Amino acid sequence: MRTCEVALRPANLSEPVPELPDIVVYIEALERRIQGQTLERVTLASPFLLRTAEPPITSLEGMKVLQLRRIGKRIGFGLEGDFWLVLHLMIAGRLHWHEVESKSPKPPKNARNPKNPKNRLATFQFSNGTLSLTEAGSKRRASLHVVRGEAGLKRLDPGGSEIFEIDLDHFAKVLQSANHTLKRALTDPRLFSGVGNAYSDEILFAAQLSPVALTQRLTPGEIQRLFEATRDTLTEWAERLRVESGGRFPEKVTAFREGMAVHGRYQEPCPRCGSKIQRIRYASNETNYCPNCQTAGKLLADRALSRLLRADWPRTADELEGLTLRE
């Protein structure tokens, strides 16, 4: 029997990009702290963070935050004058809140390299405290855009459907608009908004569907099961994260969490049937699944699957997050 793991090249797997539940909880925490507050000063420590030149970011100083919005996996800060700061945390970007007495905040104890100022990319000083952005590692993937109006926001939005704003018929139409693997379809930001590597594993486990099943071969019953599993899984995890933060600012944003059924649980027992969780690796991507519950006992590893992965899956998180709205 072939090995249960597909590895077309050595994989250096890292935590996936924060997804819908994580971003929702971030936004709720930010709303309680900075909505209605004045952005007094922005300090950028990395020249690679800001991806726009006009309008200048300093022109937003002195404006109040009127609203916050999730744009796919991005966080939008809506300010006076219809200006928007749009932040994409990517893989290693994290936000930290410091009360007003901390004008020069230190990275939290759980941040990597806490003594290294390069870990902090930006600080946003408000009238009641400071929000800081850190990014672990040497690669600078996190991004910040300054745009104006809905047109500016639209340019940054991949255009995926919001799962809680569509019905089953719309979901089915989007899902089967092309013949992708289920894993690819769920994580394509042009199809569905806010779903990534970690929660797609949990969704597919809940729906008892294979990650490499092709979308155009699903039965109506399987599509309904997937639709319900997507809504239920995202709702459940957003609520879990709310309870975990307990009103505090969420610091432990990670894709590998206690209580997940399959994601990050390779070789651990399936909580439903007890079989060992298996995985597929391709470049920097990893998919976890239960062979008994999802693939009729089959291990997903053969030459045909390798070719399928090469054709259908982005190689990196950067490539996936770089997908934009189709014309």
Q: Give pLDDT, residue 302.
A: 46
Name residue, tokens 């991806």.
Answer: 51
| Amino acid at site 77 | F
Q: Give pLDDT, residue 17.
A: 81
**Is 124 part of any domain?**
yes
**Do 185 and 273 belong together in one domain?**
yes
Q: What is the mean pLDDT of each run of 10 residues along the chain (327 residues)?
A: 33 65 96 97 92 94 98 97 96 89 50 55 95 86 95 95 98 96 95 95 98 96 98 97 92 77 94 93 81 91 54 57 54
**Is 222 part of any domain?**
yes
Domain of residue 310 covers 163-321
Q: For residue 97, give the 3-state DSSP assignment.
A: strand
CA distance 147 to 309: 36
Q: Give pLDDT, residue 66.
A: 98
320 membership: H or E segment, kind and range: helix 317-321
Q: How far, rounded to the nearest angstrom, does the alpha carbon of residue 76 sit from its chain's CA centroid?
A: 14
Q: Give pLDDT, residue 313.
A: 55
79 membership: H or E segment, kind and range: strand 74-79
**Do 81 and 41 belong together in one domain?**
yes
Domain end: 126, 156, 186, which one?
A: 156
**Do 89 and 146 belong together in one domain?**
yes
Asked if residues 30 and 39 have their Cβ atoms less than 8 Å apart, the reply is no
63 membership: H or E segment, kind and range: strand 63-71
**Do 146 and 201 belong together in one domain?**
no
**pLDDT tens, 55-112?**
999 999 999 999 999 999 999 999 999 999 999 999 888 999 998 754 455 544 444 4
The number of domains in the chain is: 2
Domain end: 135, 156, 177, which one?
A: 156
**Do 298 and 230 belong together in one domain?**
yes
Domain end: 103, 128, 156, which one?
A: 156
**Do 168 and 297 belong together in one domain?**
yes
CATH number, residue 27: 3.20.190.10
Name residue, tokens 């639209």.
Answer: 154
Token representation of residue 8:
């077309």
**Do 68 and 48 belong together in one domain?**
yes
Q: Which of 126, 105, 131 is nearest to 117 (CA)?
A: 105
**Do 170 and 122 belong together in one domain?**
no
Burial of 54 (0-12, 13-18, 19+ CB in 10 A): exposed
Q: Strand (E) positions, 83-241?
A: 83-88, 93-99, 120-126, 129-135, 143-148
